[in-house]
């Protein structure tokens, strides 16, 4: 295997023996042996189930590869064999680099141990010394954000807390290959965004990523390549976008339908006040930085009735606002905002560059309120708001006074009765016209 290859899978297969009755297992253990001693053809008391069949592919170092397919297609089986927790029936796997894996929820954790003890145990299994773990421990705990529960037994954790700690360990052991099997779906919206930011950072740093997901938009955005599995066989391996299209064509019959969650179904009219605050979206994992000459406070989204909300109706008007408090004199600051999706892709951004509001000087102690009046044409989904103040003070270019990334999370509902996909709602007027001969 060449040095630029991180993972090489060649003719990989996995067969399970399925027994209809428990006693058939004992028969299989005893009777065929006696039949061979008697020079008879041994009888088989099980059925074969091939979870994976003759799969081959290569992943280069630094590539991000999505693995897609229906439930039961062999995705998890493949990842377990790559990690070495499951032996193949035939074929070979070669890996080049330290592997960190986030597979089944809580796998590798001892429920009787505390979170602290499990961190040390898991990191040691991945090859870190006690000193190396100690150096990384605070960062692991900070990322997991489970507070004092770090010293409580894992059996007392919620599923979300388990996946937080498991992911924090996996990404902080300096992996060269990171394998994630749909576990992030357990986390809340804020934690999912935090994980996607970290995955992007690792990818930029040259870490190889294998990523199983049923979210095709995520695969398209963060993966360069994708592997499509059907009933254990590799149907297609290539450019992620093209492979996802093939999967969607098979899954939806060449016409992708937008999925409407129960929460979105409750969003039924733009005429309502929409003064709803979804409690699940209030906890954020924002990232803040800047030189400190200004502070952004009181970030909010309000509807036309001046009511604060984080659930937006289609085609309705909203005000995205924040206040800026200056702690030092600043000339010509630029106030901005940006809306991103879970993968961090910018959906919309705007700032006051070249607007008269920026053409002024602010002194220490000054306060100003910034409002962005917007008509919501976003498609259904979860979105994240980033606010920032910057100024091009010198030849080094843009300098942030303060930037608050993912300071708010909000959800956009769908039009009642309409099927809309994508990140934008273009308000189509659809006509079906019969040709007249």
Residue 436 lies in a domain: no
- Chain Cα centroid distance, residue 253: 26
Residues 99-148 have pLDDT tens digits of 887 776 556 788 899 999 989 988 888 778 888 888 889 988 888 888 88
Residues 192-210 have pLDDT tens digits of 788 888 888 888 888 999 9
pLDDT of 407: 93
Of 206, 236, 252, the residue at which a domain comes to its end is: 252
Residue 405 lies in a domain: yes
Cα of first residue to Cα of last residue in the chain, in angstroms, is 64
- Chain Cα centroid distance, residue 54: 29
| pLDDT reading at 271 higher than 60 | no
- Rounded-to-integer distance, Cα 232 and Cα 247, Å: 15
Over the chain, what is the mean pLDDT?
Answer: 84
309 and 241 belong to one structural domain: no
Contact indicator for 151, 116 with CB cutoff of 8 Å? yes
| pLDDT reading at 260 higher than 70 | no
Contact indicator for 415, 271 with CB cutoff of 8 Å? no
- Rounded-to-integer distance, Cα 51 and Cα 78, Å: 9
Residue 261 lies in a domain: no
- Most confident segment among 228-237, 340-349, 415-424: 228-237
194 and 290 belong to one structural domain: no
Of 252, 271, 296, the residue at which a domain comes to its end is: 252
Tell me, what CATH number does 390's domain have? 2.70.50.60
Residue 84 binned pLDDT confidence (cut-offs 50, 70, 90):
confident
pLDDT of 275: 54
Residue 20 lies in a domain: yes
Residue 272 lies in a domain: no
- Rounded-to-integer distance, Cα 370 and Cα 302, Å: 13
Average pLDDT over residues 261-280: 52
Residues 21-45 have pLDDT tens digits of 888 888 888 888 888 888 888 888 8
- What three-state secondary structure class fits 269? coil
115 and 175 belong to one structural domain: yes
Of 252, 268, 291, the residue at which a domain comes to its end is: 252
**Residue 223 belongs to domain spanning:** 5-252
pLDDT of 174: 80
Residue 344 lies in a domain: yes
| pLDDT reading at 258 higher than 60 | no
Residue with tokens 């008391």: 45
132 and 235 belong to one structural domain: yes
296 and 247 belong to one structural domain: no
Beta pairing, strands 233-239 & 99-102:
unpaired
pLDDT of 394: 58
pLDDT of 35: 85
Average pLDDT over residues 342-363: 81
Q: Which long-range contacts (CB under 8 A, 24 or more apart) does 391-394 make?
A: 391/330, 391/331, 391/332, 391/333, 391/334
| Top-confidence residue, 68 or 413 | 68
- Most confident segment among 95-99, 113-117, 246-250, 335-339: 335-339
297 and 163 belong to one structural domain: no
219 and 292 belong to one structural domain: no
Residues 371-401 have pLDDT tens digits of 999 999 998 888 999 999 998 765 556 889 9
> HSE on the CB side for 377, CA within 13 Å?
10
Residue 374 lies in a domain: yes
311 and 194 belong to one structural domain: no
| pLDDT reading at 93 higher than 90 | yes
**pTM for this model (two decimals):** 0.64
Residue 326 binned pLDDT confidence (cut-offs 50, 70, 90):
very high
Residue 237 binned pLDDT confidence (cut-offs 50, 70, 90):
very high
Residue 264 binned pLDDT confidence (cut-offs 50, 70, 90):
very low
pLDDT of 123: 84
- What three-state secondary structure class fits 283? coil
44 and 169 belong to one structural domain: yes
342 and 404 belong to one structural domain: yes
Residue 388 lies in a domain: yes
Contact indicator for 160, 186 with CB cutoff of 8 Å? yes
| Top-confidence residue, 356 or 202 | 202
213 and 295 belong to one structural domain: no
Hey, what are 360's tokens? 């002024």
Residue 228 binned pLDDT confidence (cut-offs 50, 70, 90):
very high
| pLDDT reading at 2 higher than 50 | yes
| Number of domains the chain is built from | 2
221 and 367 belong to one structural domain: no
Tell me, what CATH number does 102's domain have? 3.40.50.300
The DSSP code sequence of 143-208 is HHT-GGGGGSBGGGS-HHHHHHHHHHHHHTS--SEEEEESGGGGS-HHHHHHHHHHHHHHHHTT-E
């Amino acid at each position: 295997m060449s040095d630029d290859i991180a993972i090489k899978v060649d003719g990989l297969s996995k067969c399970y023996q399925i027994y209809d009755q428990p006693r058939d297992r004992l028969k299989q253990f005893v009777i065929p042996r006696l039949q061979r001693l008697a020079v008879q053809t041994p009888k088989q008391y099980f059925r074969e189930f091939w979870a994976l069949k003759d799969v081959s592919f290569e992943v280069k170092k630094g590539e991000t590869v999505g693995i897609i397919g229906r439930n039961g297609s062999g995705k998890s089986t493949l990842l377990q064999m790559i990690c070495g927790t499951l032996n193949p029936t035939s074929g070979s796997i070669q890996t080049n680099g330290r592997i960190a894996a986030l597979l089944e929820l809580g796998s590798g954790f001892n429920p009787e141990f505390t979170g602290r003890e499990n961190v040390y145990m898991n990191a040691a299994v991945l090859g870190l010394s006690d000193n190396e773990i100690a150096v990384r421990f605070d960062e692991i705990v900070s990322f997991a954000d489970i507070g004092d529960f770090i010293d409580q037994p894992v059996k007392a954790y919620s599923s979300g807390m388990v996946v937080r700690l498991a992911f924090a360990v996996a990404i902080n052991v300096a992996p060269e290959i990171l394998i994630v099997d749909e576990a992030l779906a357990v986390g809340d919206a804020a934690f999912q965004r935090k994980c996607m930011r970290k995955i992007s950072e690792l990818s930029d740093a040259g870490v190889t990523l294998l990523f199983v997901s049923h979210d095709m938009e995520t695969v398209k955005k963060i993966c360069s390549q994708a592997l499509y599995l059907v009933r254990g066989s590799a149907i297609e391996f290539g450019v992620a976008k093209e492979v996802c299209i093939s999967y969607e064509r098979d899954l939806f019959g060449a016409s992708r339908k937008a999925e409407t969650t129960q929460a979105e179904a409750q969003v039924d009219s733009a005429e309502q006040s929409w003064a709803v605050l979804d409690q699940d979206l209030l906890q954020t994992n924002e990232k803040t930085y800047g030189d400190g000459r200004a502070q952004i406070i009181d970030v909010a989204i309000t509807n036309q009735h001046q009511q604060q909300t984080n659930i937006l109706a289609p085609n309705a008007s909203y005000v995205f606002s924040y206040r800026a408090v200056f702690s030092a004199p600043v000339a010509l600051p630029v106030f901005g905002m940006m809306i991103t999706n879970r993968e961090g892709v910018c959906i919309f951004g705007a700032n006051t560059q070249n607007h008269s509001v920026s053409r002024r000087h602010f002194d220490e102690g000054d306060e100003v309120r910034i409002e962005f009046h917007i008509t919501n044409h976003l498609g259904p989904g979860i979105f994240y708001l980033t606010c920032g103040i910057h100024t091009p003070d010198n030849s080094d270019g843009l300098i942030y006074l303060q930037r608050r990334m993912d300071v708010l999370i909000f959800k956009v509902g769908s039009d009642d009765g309409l099927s809309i996909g994508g990140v934008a709602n273009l308000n189509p007027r659809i006509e079906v016209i019969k040709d007249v001969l």
